[in-house]
Amino acid sequence: MKRLKVSNNVIRRLPRYLRKLDELSAQGVTRVSSSELGKQLGLTPSQIRQDFSCFGEFGQQGYGYHVPSLRRQVAAILGMDRNYQAVLIGVGNIGHALIDNFCFSDWGFHLTAAFDVKPEIIGATFNKVPVLSMEELPKYLDEHQVDIAVLTVPKDAAVPVTQILTAHGVEAIWNFTNVELTEPNSSTIVENVHFSDSLLSLSYYVSERQDERAARAAREARRENSSISNS
């Protein structure tokens, strides 16, 4: 695929487009205009056209977008058709939750193995994923294609495990540890999951509503006061 250098903001919107297109498909919608898509996503139609124009011409003047084709193209841009292989390191609560409930294959990933240090789960299989010992990790990485590692270890283990991963050729890490894994100019691609970003956005919206309510109450109190003083 030919790639221009695309801005991070565009890249971050692609998964949202994908979700919206899946939603439309589920509703039986096969055709959508950029203005309708924009309305549903809180974006302007021109922003949407611009975003897609980074990757080629997807829509047709006067027709809009064909939902299944656009979905296929967005999925391809995201690399969902490349059969990426993943391993997960650290089968604690969050690791376990991902193995059990996160459908890696829906997003084009194959989770081939998990690694942990706890003897009581080594050798077990959760949701068809075998749990291997951490000691086997270097050898496993040398012998298998591993495109990304999901890092769900305790904080203290985050950096040492990252060093093993990068020393054995893993180039991309999906990081749930809240620890800064690599030096600024490292060639490893790290995607940090920050739960707090999402909670703080929610906090903002709750605060906004509180403030609006307080402002309304203040206006009403003023009105009442002035009607008392007028009477």
In the complex, the residues that contact its own copies under the rule CB under 8 A are 1, 3, 8-9, 11-12, 14-16, 18-19, 23, 42, 77-80, 82, 84, 92-94, 96-98, 100-102, 104, 106-109, 147-148, 171-172, 174, 180, 189, 191, 193-212
Closer by beta carbon to its own copies, 53 or else 207: 207
The type of residue at 114 is A
What would the two tokens of residue 194 be? 């920050």
The nearer residue to its own copies, 135 or 204, going by C-beta atoms, is 204
Backbone dihedral angles phi then psi of residue 200, each to the nearest 5 degrees: -70, -30
Nearer to its own copies, 27 or 61 (CB): 27
CB of 62 to its own copies, least distance (A): 27
**Closest distance of CB 11 from its own copies, Å:** 5
Locate the DSSP E strands across 33-96: 65-66, 84-89
The continuous run of DSSP H or E covering 14 comes out as helix 8-26
**For its own copies, which is the closer residue by CB, 135 or 209?**
209
Cβ-contact 3, 10 below 8 angstroms: no
Cα(145)–Cα(136) distance, rounded to whole angstroms?
Answer: 15
Compute the least distance from the CB of residue 14 to its own copies, in Å: 7
Residues 6 or more apart whose CB falls under 8 angstroms from that of 52 comprise 58, 59, 70
CB of 186 to its own copies, least distance (A): 13
Q: CB-wise, 65 or 109, nearer to its own copies? A: 109
**Nearer CB in complex with its own copies: 12/128:** 12
Residue 53 or 210 with smaller CB distance to its own copies? 210
Write down the least CB distance from residue 73 to its own copies, Å.
Answer: 13
Name which of 148, 118, 153, 154 is nearest 133 in CA terms: 118
Task: Report the distance separating Cα 29 and Cα 27, nearest Å.
Answer: 6
CA 103 to chain CA centroid, Å, is 13
In angstroms, what is the minimal distance from the CB of 61 to its own copies?
27
Alpha-carbon gap, residue 93 to 110, rounded angstroms: 20
88 neighbors 111 (Cβ within 8 angstroms): yes
Least distance in Å: CB of 124 to its own copies? 15
